[in-house]
A and B are shown apart, each in its own frame.
Chain A
Amino acid sequence: MATGLAAAAAARRRLLLLPRHLLRESHLSFSAAPAEGLDVGDGGGGGGRVKIFDRDLKRRHRDRAAWAMGETDALADAVADNLLDRLEDCRKAFPSALCLGGSAGAVRRLLRGRGGIEKLIMMDMSADMVRKWREMDNATDDGLETHFVVGDEEYLPIKESSQDTIISCLGLHWTNDLPGAMIQCRLALKPDGLFLAAILGGETLKELRIACTIAQMEREGGISPRMSPLAQVRDAGNLLTRAGFTLPGVDVDRYTVKYNSALELVEHLRAMGETNALFQRNPILKKDTALATAAIYQTMFGLEDGTVPATFQVIYMTGWKEHPSQQKAKRRGSATVSFSDLQKQFGSNQN
């Protein structure tokens, strides 16, 4: 059963290591032989591609989330607000924006004219979710031109160099090929365009992870992966650089949400469409195990007031598409003056 975990960890490592060459390969096949590109479309991914998440299942999760979610979600709102705050730090305006999956509804609601966005395209895998956003958009009246598309982040249907900014709020951690998805985002950005993303980090739901493991070992004598492998903070910087973004910035925020019981937490996860979509998942969850998990969660992490805390670690990533106007380091070894000469120069100036 430890092998299951090890396999998941290995798969995650592969996710981080492989995709660049995979992506290049797929680009080649698209341009050279269009028919081959189709296989990817039919199978939802080529045969050799590393697949960790069941994207079809995630799509259904999000269909369900579209009707299960409340009007507002404190966690999603906090993350979206934090993310959008970054738009205000830029002096540049972003007339055309693309908003990807996850909590894009919260982004739309909290945008409030930030970043000078005039035209917004909202995209998600789930048609029901997109329809829900459209209803929401029709109810708000702030004169923002909003368009809706059903699309997959792994196959971004957006024209090259067409967007000023791409915002992804809590969606990209479900992509099988995160670097690939980010490279596609970079391609869709105009030069000097901004990529803003929030993904869940490895510390997320660590309490639930522990409770699930203990309960499963206790009741079933082994464990199955109940939790996604998530990116670590140190990976995030590498991801941005690998995807070719300039001036990468990563920061982390940790939110603790209190629930009345662990079951309520699961209910919330369901409403956010964040439930397990691993290919390796065990499709059966015994009631016995579920209740044991809740009990263990309560005893191990329960607070004095009877609530249980859940940690959400959110990694914020900022990157820019290359542009000549951006500051950058000079080529290594291109210096013409040595540091000791510099010091001498300054020394003589002062004297």
Chain B
Amino acid sequence: MRRTAASLLRHSGIGGGGGGGIPEALADALVCPLSKKPLRYCESSGSLVSDAVGVSFPIDDGIPCLVPKDGKLLDHDQDKSEDCGAKDSSHRQ
């Protein structure tokens, strides 16, 4: 029961304003594993985006996956369009 509640919380993003899909306390401590620059949460794809190297890292079941190999290279045009939606959160970081 507790677990369900926790995962619900995680998915709804109540627990984490800053990180969206992940708790804020965790999002604050995470950076891009390659560039060590801040990550931005992209709501449309539900992933963490490192703008410095243009890679998006998936969040699987509320657990961010920041192994460089799991990152997906961002297409530049797609990146732009996603950028508009998530601009605010990038500034906050």
Asked if A40 CB lies within 8 Å of chain B CBs, one says yes
A149–B30 contact, CB under 8 A?
yes
Which chain B residues border A98 with CB–CB below 8 Å? 29
A48 to B29, CA, bound (A): 30
Q: Are A30 and B63 in contact (CB under 8 A)?
A: no
Question: Is the C-beta of B36 less than 8 angstroms from some C-beta in chain A?
Answer: yes
Which of A150-158, A169-177, A251-259, A308-316 binds B? A150-158
CB <8 Å contact, A155 and B63: no
Residues facing A in B49-78 (CB within 8 A) are 52-55, 60-71, 73
Are A150 and B64 in contact, with the CB atoms below 8 A? yes
Q: Is the CB of A242 closer than 8 A to any CB of chain B?
A: no
Most buried by B among A34, A38, A42, A157: A157
Can you list the 6 inter-chain pairs with the closest CB atoms, starting with the nearest? A41-B68, A155-B33, A157-B66, A157-B33, A147-B26, A150-B65
- Whether a CB of chain A sits under 8 angstroms from the CB of B8 is no
Q: How many Å lie between the Cα of A262 and that of B80 in the bound state? A: 58
Whether A127 pairs with B63 at a CB distance below 8 angstroms is: yes
Query: Is A138 a contact partner of B63 (Cβ separation < 8 A)?
Result: no
Chain B residues within an 8 Å CB radius of A59: 67
Stretch at the interface among A159-167, A191-199, A264-272: A159-167
With both beta carbons as reference points, the residue of chain B lying nearest to A96 in the complex is identified as B29
Contacts of B70 in A (CB 8 A): 150
Mind listing 19 A-B residue pairs with CB under 8 Å?
Answer: A30-B53, A34-B53, A38-B34, A38-B53, A41-B33, A41-B71, A44-B69, A59-B67, A127-B65, A131-B61, A148-B63, A149-B64, A150-B60, A150-B63, A150-B64, A151-B33, A151-B65, A151-B66, A163-B29
Cβ–Cβ contact A162 & B36, under 8 A? no
Q: How far is the CA of A108 from the CA of B17 in the complex (A)?
A: 26
Interface residues of B (CB under 8 A from A): 2-3, 6, 22-23, 25-26, 28-36, 38, 52-55, 60-71, 73
| Best-buried of A56, A96, A151 by chain B (most CB within 10 Å) | A151
Docked pose: A44 CA to B69 CA in angstroms = 6
Q: Mark A117-141, 1 if CB is under 8 A from B, else 0.
A: 0010100010100110011001000
Q: How far is the CA of A37 from the CA of B6 in the complex (A)?
A: 35
* Other-chain residue from B31, B54, B68 in contact with A44 (beta carbon distance below 8 A): B68
Asked whether B63 lies within 8 Å of A125 as measured between CB atoms, the reply is no
For B68, list chain A residues within 8 Å (CB). 40-42, 44, 152, 155
B31/A41 in contact, CB under 8 A: no
Contacts of B6 in A (CB 8 A): 138
**Across the interface, which residues of B come within 8 angstroms of A40, CB to CB?**
34, 68
Chain A residue contacts of B66, Cβ below 8 A: 149-152, 155, 157
Contact A125 B31 (CB under 8 A): no
Q: Which of A31, A138, A158 contacts B29 (CB under 8 A)?
A: A158
Query: Is A220 an interface position by the 8 A CB rule?
Result: no
Task: Say yes or no: A34-B54 contact (C-beta < 8 A), given A121-B29, A125-B67, A138-B3.
Answer: yes
Does A235 sit at the interface, judged by CB under 8 A?
Answer: no
B31, A159: Cβ atoms under 8 Å? yes
Given contacts A41-B55, A138-B6, A158-B29, contact A130 B67 (CB under 8 A): no
Distance in angstroms between the alpha carbons of A157 and B52 in the assembled complex: 14
Chain A residues whose CB sits within 8 angstroms of the CB of B36 once the complex forms: 30, 159-160, 187
How many Å lie between the Cα of A159 and that of B69 in the bound state?
19
Known: A56-B69, A150-B64, A151-B67. A37 touches B35 (CB 8 A): yes
Q: Mark A77-97, 1 if CB is under 8 A from B, else 0.
A: 000000000000000000010
